[in-house]
């Protein structure tokens, strides 16, 4: 019986979380597929880094072609992060007939059309559930069980760093820089927080959501984007007095005439809005469909295991298609 063979690009935090998700749930995954599945090659320079998993050193390579040109490999998982060389690697994998799974929102959002078209041309599947909302299964749901809807609106808290900072400013009355500092100390913000606090990460995710929901690709650089660096303690206090919360919202709304308005910016939401109660580093995506009405999906938008859950979910779906 066929074994599903995977090549993995990158064994950093997310790569390790994905590897670990497969190891800890291997029995269930194999039983779901009815066949074995293995990560057989890994593109990664840092062979000796201490990781919470056991990986045979023979799996490591520093030559991506060892993966792309290996006729035994069915699926390539890209977890390098950053736009390049990740995007070029995904294209090369597809051109060599590999199905591709990624968690990389920056690379997908910057190259959405090219990646989608290359997958079609090469008759391979391209999946990126983990790129929006981490472990929250939002993309597969929009594209699967909700497909009978015309979508009208999406409002997302899709960046955990900024949600954590705004939460601390609200709950503890902190100013922006103290809250950022605390988020950095706790590992919820990076040393260089620009991509998060300026809304760039959220714009990447909105670009992907819009492409899927409205069949309209807008490069993230063309999405009007305001981050949270200008949000003051005083504005938060005013919002609180009005029974509101300030949240960084990635929003796209389809108007009556079919045009779509979109932006990433801090928004004041009433306390009665389901998104206003999403605290700390959690993410949530609120969607309106013309049949289903209002829905919200809530969960961990980042982290090695939640992201690994989404990546392996994509791998399982592709494996099922391969085995059919």
**Is 323 a binder of a second copy (CB under 8 A)?**
no
Catalytic annotation present for 205: yes
Q: How far apart are CA 27 and CA 38, in angstroms?
A: 12
Selected from 12, 81, 85, 303, the binder of a second copy by CB under 8 A is: 303
How do 260-270 and 244-254 pair as beta strands? antiparallel
**Is 85 a binder of a second copy (CB under 8 A)?**
no
Contacts (CB under 8 A) with a second copy, residues 1-30: 17, 21-22, 24-25, 28-29
* Nearest Cα to Cα of residue 305 among 25, 8, 9: 25
**Any idea what the Cα angle at residue 156 is, between residues 149 and 286, rounded to 5°?**
40
Selected from 135, 160, 193, 199, the binder of a second copy by CB under 8 A is: 135
Selected from 44, 277, 281, 318, the binder of a second copy by CB under 8 A is: 277
Identity of the residue, 176 or 286, whose beta carbon is nearer to a second copy in the bound complex: 286
The per-residue b/e assignment along 147-181, b for 16 or more CB within 10 angstroms, e otherwise, is: eebebbbbbbbbbbbbbbbbbbbbeeebebeebbe
Identity of the residue, 149 or 240, whose beta carbon is nearer to a second copy in the bound complex: 149
**Is 170 a binder of a second copy (CB under 8 A)?**
no
**Is 306 a binder of a second copy (CB under 8 A)?**
yes
**Is 150 a binder of a second copy (CB under 8 A)?**
yes
Containing 6, the helix (H) or strand (E) segment is: strand 4-9
Single out the catalytic residue among 59, 205, 245, 247: 205
Q: How far apart are CA 85 and CA 141, in angstroms?
A: 29
Contact 98, 7 (CB under 8 A): yes
Q: Which residues bind a second copy (CB under 8 A)?
A: 17, 21-22, 24-25, 28-29, 32, 129, 135-137, 140-141, 144-150, 274, 277, 289-300, 303, 305-306, 308-310, 312-317, 324
């Amino acid at each position: 019986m066929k074994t599903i063979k995977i090549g993995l690009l990158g064994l950093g935090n997310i790569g390790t979380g994905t590897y670990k998700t497969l190891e800890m749930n291997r029995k269930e995954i194999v039983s779901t597929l009815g066949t074995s599945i293995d990560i057989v090659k890994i593109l990664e320079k840092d062979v000796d880094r201490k990781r919470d998993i056991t990986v045979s050193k023979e799996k490591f390579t520093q030559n991506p072609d060892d993966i792309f040109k290996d006729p035994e490999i069915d699926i390539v998982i890209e977890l390098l992060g950053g736009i390049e060389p990740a995007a070029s690697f995904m294209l090369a994998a597809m051109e060599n007939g590999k199905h591709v799974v990624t968690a990389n929102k920056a690379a997908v959002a910057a190259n959405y059309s090219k990646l989608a078209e290359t997958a079609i041309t090469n008759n391979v599947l391209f999946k990126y559930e983990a790129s929006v909302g981490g472990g929250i299964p939002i993309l597969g749901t929009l594209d699967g069980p909700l497909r009978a809807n015309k979508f009208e609106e999406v409002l997302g808290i899709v960046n955990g760093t900024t949600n954590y900072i705004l939460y601390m400013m609200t709950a503890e009355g902190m100013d922006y820089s103290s809250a950022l500092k605390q988020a950095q100390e706790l590992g919820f913000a990076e040393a260089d927080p620009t991509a998060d606090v300026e809304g760039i990460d959220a714009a990447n995710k909105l670009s992907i959501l819009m492409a899927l929901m409205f069949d309209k690709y807008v490069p993230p650089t063309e999405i009007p984007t305001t981050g949270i660096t200008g949000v003051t303690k005083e504005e938060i206090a005013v919002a609180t007095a009005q029974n509101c919360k300030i949240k960084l919202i990635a929003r796209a709304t389809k108007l009556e005439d079919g045009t779509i308005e979109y932006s990433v910016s801090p928004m004041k939401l009433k306390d009665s809005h389901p998104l206003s109660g999403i605290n700390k580093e959690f993410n949530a995506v609120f969607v309106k469909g013309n049949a289903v009405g209002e829905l919200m999906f809530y969960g961990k938008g980042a982290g090695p295991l939640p992201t690994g859950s989404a990546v392996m979910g994509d791998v399982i779906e592709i494996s099922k298609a391969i085995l059919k």
